[in-house]
Amino acid sequence: MAPRKPLNPAAEADVGRDFYAGVAPDLDVGFFSPMWHLISLGHLVATDLDRIARRHGLSIADLLVLGAMRIAGPERLRATDLALRLHITNAALSPRIARLARAKLLERVPTAADKRAHDLVLTEEGAVKTDAAIAEVSRTGQFARNFVKLSDADRAGIARTLGLLHDMADRDFVP
Amino acid sequence: MAPRKPLNPAAEADVGRDFYAGVAPDLDVGFFSPMWHLISLGHLVATDLDRIARRHGLSIADLLVLGAMRIAGPERLRATDLALRLHITNAALSPRIARLARAKLLERVPTAADKRAHDLVLTEEGAVKTDAAIAEVSRTGQFARNFVKLSDADRAGIARTLGLLHDMADRDFVP
DNA sequence: TAAGATTGACAAATCAATCTTT
DNA sequence: AAAGATTGATTTGTCAATCTTA
């Protein structure tokens, strides 16, 4: 049999859902398509972001760390605070922070109150580089360009509903 | 300054969006929160799925390969067909297929018409294991449990809109 | 030339174990 | 004990280069 040209992902996901509805009628398969869209689309968006970040000498992982610190503003974040916001483990964050500190994009300053911890502070150069990369994401990122093609109602709806799901997943998250 | 308890992700994302709206008024930042939800939530869902897959001796990557083949049914897929559907590179797929073949969950049979390619066929054991893992995702997966808490309208809306975005990202995807 | 598949070098995530400080 | 941070072993992805066949 000649390999069929794959359907578009939305139709393909529903084929899978319907297949499993037939194979296992006792299962709830309503979550099937949106879950696959989340995983695959999340991966595609992250890959595109990584390409953009690398033009600035960063990875997407670097950019997420720097962006979270930029947004935190004057607030002093420790590694653990950052890991909670990014939903990654401390072990993943450690070498990244070391690398960004070596590149002089952030500084580790000892926390006064706790000798175990370090406060993380963005340098001027780190802030400038972060803003430049984020501006390019806004101008040339695939997601930004595709998102505006949705209707106003769809944009508002997906932003709100993804927020609800993200909040629920955040409550399930244990580092 | 004492580290502030992080807001819920939905509110936190909007703080970031508003920050960059202030820093760079020329930028469109409407995509900001939903893009972050996609990346972070996609990562959380994938990590949870990986935990479930490992109880069956699989990884999430294995499960996605096996699931795609299960859904394809009688159709013979080659590695390249699979890579296109999963939006990963052939290089990532190669060692995975080799591993699954060693575990006797799928077989590689030479393609009659093309000596470069192999057709991939799920074994009986592979199909059984795939269905068992997917049933457990439906019963105990965090996403499945959270998704049903949404309203009927929100479930339908997000499934449809994620499908639109996934289709657009798929058209941008070049392997 | 291009397509299917594979390999090697690298990046980034997980878990488990460890060290220091609370 | 428990919390903050780090290191080592393993997995999976990318890109670049290579080999064979179309």
Give per-residue pLDDT as tens, A64-99.
999 999 999 888 999 999 999 999 999 999 999 999
Q: Which long-range contacts (CB under 8 A, 24 or more apart) does A18-23 make?
A: A19/B70, A19/B71, A19/B73, A20/B71, A20/B134, A23/B131
Q: Of all protein residues, which has its CA closest to the C1' atom of C12?
A: A92
Residue A1 above 50 pLDDT? no
Residue B9: φ, ψ to 5°: -55, -35
Which residue of A29, A146, A149, A172 to mutate against B (max B Cβ within 10 Å)? A146
Q: Of all protein residues, which has its CA closest to the C1' atom of C17?
A: A91
Average pLDDT over residues A109-130: 94
- Report the C-alpha gap between A79 and B89 in whole angstroms: 33
Average pLDDT over residues A127-146: 97
pTM beyond 0.75? yes
Average pLDDT over residues A127-136: 97
Rounded mean pLDDT for each run of 10 residues along chain B, 175 residues in total: 68 97 96 98 98 96 98 92 96 97 95 91 97 97 98 98 98 88
Measure A115 CA to D22 C1' (Å).
Answer: 65
The one-letter amino acid at B48: D
Q: Which long-range contacts (CB under 8 A, 24 or more apart) does B90-97 make?
A: B90/B175, B93/B65, B96/B61, B96/B62, B96/B65, B97/B65
E strand or H helix at B120: strand B118-122
Query: Given B16, B71, B85, which is nearest A19 (Cβ)?
Result: B71
CB atoms within 10 A of CB A95: 9
The pLDDT value given to residue B4? 53
Distance from CA of A121 to the nearest CA of B (A): 12
Distance from CA of A7 to the nearest CA of B (A): 9
C-beta separation of A54 from A140 below 8 A = no
In chain A, residues 25-64 whose CB comes closer than 8 Å to chain B: 27-31, 33-35, 37-46, 48-49, 64
Contact A161 B157 (CB under 8 A): yes
Residue A24 above 90 pLDDT? yes
Q: Of all protein residues, which has its CA closest to the C1' atom of D13?
A: B92
Which among A52, A31, A49, A51 has a CA at the least distance from the CA of A41?
A: A49
Residues in chain B within 8 Å Cβ distance of A154: 157, 161, 164
